[in-house]
Amino acid sequence: MRISNKALRGVSFGATAMLALGAATEAGARSVTLTLVSGLSNGGPVADGVAVPGAPDAVLLLELRGGAISLVDRATGSSTPFLAPIGFEGAPLSSQAWAAAYSLALAPDFATSGLFYVSFSTGDRRNVLVEYRADPGAMTVDPATQRQVLSIDPWVAPSAGAHMGGAISFGPDGHLYMTTGDNDGPFGAGSGNPGQDVTSRLGKVLRIDPTGGDAFPDDPANNYAIPPGNPDLGPGADPAIFALGLRNPFKGKWDAAGEMFLVADVGEDAWEEVNRLSPGANYGWDAAEGPDAAGGEASLAGEPMLPVHAYSHAAGPFGGISVTGGLIASGGPAALDGLYLFTDYGVAAKAMNAPFWTLDPGDFGAGALAWDVTTSGGALTRPIGYAQDAGGRIYLFDQDGEVWEVVSAAVPAPAAGLLLAAGVGVLASRGWRRRQATSPKITPASTAPTSPKPT
């Protein structure tokens, strides 16, 4: 998939006309069919999944509670343990309140090195990234190979605890990108929220080299290098920061071609965002939520940037309260190929299937489309993540421990759908001047990579 230059213009959402609806029809609408797939989890929620290089029928699934990883072979229907539940600092992750596994990423050279990474939070509310070394031929892992790469202490505040992280994904440059939350800091310029604190790694997208050396030899909790090309955000700024101004970006992923990293950021009281990663970008939180500014924006570090898409917490079937990203489909049902898929965790409270929404990365300005959802085996509720295997199968995971597969998608002619939001460029009048999204300037590596309740 090649992404056109039209994708670079972004979308400007204004302070008025917040939810623009386009024409929709009941008959002949875009539609997807989801089937409940049994035997892919151990009963608990699946937090993330990744394709296995060279194995189109295989997918690795990371469990939210405890961090165990299963190797699933869709051709045979088998599910075998790959990594035992994570133990960290002498205690099982599953025994720690507030602890949860978030994301899984295979190193670009996994087929030879066997290196892979898991992000999780601990009982004392730290963000942690660890490395393991597998036998890529036998697809087995010795838990004793665990190496701590990164640890981020919680923000010191009475409400600290939520919004920890922590999606991880290797970019086309071979470096690891990691999203972190703000630990539930308050909204409002001058509040001290870590999202705008360039000395803190919270509320950010980090870019690190986990195997290129140790920039912190006196800190046993942090063992990674800072790759060249990270933006200079001023005196005292943490050198791992690639972008800032995020609240709860618990999902983010590079597309299979390494052309785009989209971050879904959960809002507080009014707006949900999808942001495109760009070096030095400042997505506004806590000085702005969606298009709503809180004052003090002129002093923001980095390059203030609009979301490529935002939707409101308005009542009705097409509002939402907690965005769940998201991936750009590569293969799979032809009608979805090349589109960004996302949904909302909270719409299930309206006693209906969770929504199935798409954006065209080649033209974000066209807005998002809603698809009619048909499910086989139950109802899709409280979705928390997506994955796609090398064979093109698209999976959705929900909080109830269910794994769904998108088995078909149809766009009858003439195509019809619901436009969730369209750009209305009036933000400048609010004093909140954020530029449109541009492509990150990233040089591909010689070895290309393979492709608890959010609030």
222: domain CATH number? Answer: 2.120.10.30
pLDDT of 318: 61
Is 320 within a domain? yes
pLDDT of 29: 82
Q: Is the pLDDT of residue 238 over 80?
A: yes
Which residues, 6 or more positions from 44, have their beta carbon under 8 angstroms from its beta carbon?
A: 63, 64, 65, 66, 401
pLDDT of 52: 97
Domain range for residue 249? 5-430
Is 111 within a domain? yes
Is 448 within a domain? no
Is 452 within a domain? no
Strand pairing report for 281-282 and 303-304: parallel
Q: For 173-192, what is the mean pLDDT?
A: 81
Q: For 434-438, what is the mean pLDDT?
A: 46
Q: Is the pLDDT of residue 89 over 70?
A: yes
pLDDT in tens, 204-224: 999 999 999 999 999 999 999
CB 330 within 8 A of CB 257: yes
pLDDT in tens, 318-337: 678 899 999 999 999 999 99
Domain count, the chain: 1
pLDDT band at 10 (very low <50, low <70, confident <90, very high): very low
Q: What is the rounded distance in angstroms from the CA atom of residue 96 to the CA atom of residue 29?
A: 46
Is 440 within a domain? no
Q: Where are the beta strands (DSSP E) in 44-146?
A: 46-52, 55-63, 69-73, 78-83, 87-88, 91-92, 100-106, 115-121, 127-135, 140-141
Among 42-46, 261-265, 398-402, 421-425, name the one with the lowest average pLDDT.
421-425
Prediction pTM value:
0.86
Is 453 within a domain? no
Q: For 101-117, what is the mean pLDDT?
A: 98
Is 293 within a domain? yes
Question: Residue 166 is encoded by which pair of tokens?
Answer: 């922590």
Is 454 within a domain? no
